A and B are shown apart, each in its own frame.
Chain A
Amino acid sequence: MSNEIRDDLKYTDSHEWIKINDSIATIGITDHAQSELTDIVFAELPEIGKLVKKGDELCVVESVKSVSEIYSPLSGKIVKINEKLEDAPEIINGQPYDDGWLVEIEIEKKDEIDALISGSEYQKLI
């Protein structure tokens, strides 16, 4: 069981992490989430340019026995997807906070960032 939490990231109670860089948010799933899912074998990512609202289904991550929807923690436009995951979805298991990122969003509503939780708050949930 691994449960690494990084202090420079924001989190959601549904186990996504968010890295804010000006108007761009990089989104992935936490170390705890990948460890619970184990053996990620497929990641279905959205199309670039798609508009999502906070709480919309962003992508789907599948392990051998489970299908997990990942919800968008913020509203905005998908500007980049992690294409490496198409052939090597297991990167999410190995490097959930680095090469295992899922998508980048151009943030539409900056005030939504306030609703995200800190690393120490997320720690209490897991």
Chain B
Amino acid sequence: MLNYPFLISHDGEIHMSTQSPLHKNHAELKAKFTEFAGFNMPLQFSSIKDEHLQVRKSVGLFDVSHMSNVWITGKDAEKLLTLTTIEDASKIVKNKSQYTAILRDDGTIIDDTIFMHLDDRFMIIPNAGMDEIVTDWLNKKAKEHNLSVKVENVSKDYVILAVQGPKSKELLQKMTDVDLSTIGFFGCKEIVLADQKCIISYTGYTGELGFELQITPVEKAVPLFNKILGIGKEFKIKPIGLGARDTLRLEKCFLLAGNEFEGGRTPLEAVMSWAINWDHEFIGKESLLKQKEEGSYQRLTCLECNEKGIPRHGNEVKKDGKIVGMISSGTISPCLNKGIALAYVDPDERKIGSELDIVIRGKNIKSTIVKSPFVKKDWISTQ
């Protein structure tokens, strides 16, 4: 069961913090914990760098139970998703999932999410702490459009595990009779894994071959977590914390809702155009079309540092002394061993190869605009 310990923070306010059902396991594995979107989750177990490289080179196990689970059922489930996301849900066949975004009327992103098409129902995975906001929004839109659909927030009933890395498939295949090769990229399916029923999807947040598992009831996740670590020993599997989860996603230019959507950003600004299916009507579409026509909006841009220094969220980006953008996410890349950042940059200053300054503690650090992602698919073969 989930616990709700009251925490007193430095500001003296009482905050509620949710622990994962696997909290005890993490503590036994000597995790350092961090607060993230109201959840108390492992930041790291050994070292962020080691955990990061483990996932790039072999396989790692993540508890991502802070992410949300919402069931959408009923005869108009598909219609509701089509109305409220930038994807036409009727194009996503059974046993496939899709990365998409839910927009406000003004085109800004409420949340990015994956939806899975399972039999005659859909599960969506909103971000940490977004479950109620997304559930309320979908219910409100269903009512406004007279849709026959049930939207049910089941986040507390599920543990989400992510098994990520080039050896993830080989490892999980040892635990199930289902041929995992039949689950293609972004495929999803209900299977039995080590005697435990779960939903498996070929998805992840690391840019590596990897799978995510939705497990209910939550108690069943404890033996499964231990089993994956046990069987994974031959691949030197490690538990991975949120620290490495962040560096892994940033090297691949995947978006982090709290950072990249802060202040209200549209999918055009967040360079998610590839995920927009324009051939259907959806909430926010008119605003996006208008923005597209006007054209003069900042866009997410990849910056690689040429000097020592680590860009961080909120750093200014300058060109010839003039502010042209702002860092939304920055870190040191464990694979490249240099500072990397995503920044919202003015449309005229985004040419690949051109130099911009990142202002870190008052100092200008030179960076170059590079193509996404920072770490290419074949990085491991260059090692």
Contact = CB atoms under 8 A, between A and B. Distances in A.
Contact of A65 (B48, B308, B309, B361): B48
A42 B332 contact: yes
A62 interface: yes
B44 A38 contact: yes
B310 A62 contact: yes
Interface in A16-62: 38-39, 41-42, 44, 60, 62
Contacts, number: 35
A41 B50 CA distance: 13
Contacts of A67: 310, 312
A64 to B, nearest CB: 4
Q: DSSP majority for the B interface?
A: mixed
A60 B363 CA distance: 13
A44 B332 CA distance: 14
B312 A39 contact: no
B49 A39 contact: yes
Contacts of B246: 65
A94 to B, nearest CB: 12
Contacts of B309: 42, 44
A13 to B, nearest CB: 16
Interface string B320-335: 0000000000011010
B166 interface: no
A64 B243 contact: yes
B247 interface: yes
Interface string B85-102: 000000000000000000
Contacts of A39: 47-49
A44 B48 contact: no
B310 A41 contact: yes
Nearest to A90: B49
The contact size tier of chain A is 10 to 19
B253 interface: no
B43 interface: yes
A65 B243 contact: yes
A84 B162 CA distance: 39
A118 B305 CA distance: 41
Given A41-B332, A42-B309, A64 B49 contact: yes
B100 to A, nearest CB: 29
Given A42-B308, A42-B332, A64 B48 contact: yes
B332 A64 contact: yes
A86 interface: yes
A37 B332 CA distance: 15
Nearest to B30: A1
Contacts of B243: 64-65
A44 B361 contact: yes
Among B43, B246, B310, find the residue whose CB has the most chain A CB atoms closer than 10 A: B310
Nearest to A57: B361
Interface in A95-120: none
A64 B361 contact: no
A42 B47 CA distance: 15
B160 to A, nearest CB: 22
Given A38-B48, A39-B48, A42-B332, A65 B310 contact: no
A64 B332 CA distance: 6
Contacts of A62: 310, 332
Interface in B293-321: 308-310, 312
A38 B47 CA distance: 7
21 contacts: A38-B44, A38-B47, A38-B48, A39-B47, A39-B48, A41-B332, A42-B308, A44-B309, A44-B361, A60-B361, A62-B310, A64-B49, A64-B247, A64-B331, A64-B334, A65-B43, A65-B48, A65-B243, A65-B246, A65-B331, A67-B310
Given A42-B309, A64-B334, 18 more contacts: A38-B32, A38-B44, A38-B47, A38-B48, A39-B49, A41-B49, A41-B332, A42-B308, A44-B361, A60-B361, A62-B310, A62-B332, A64-B48, A64-B243, A64-B331, A65-B246, A65-B331, A67-B310
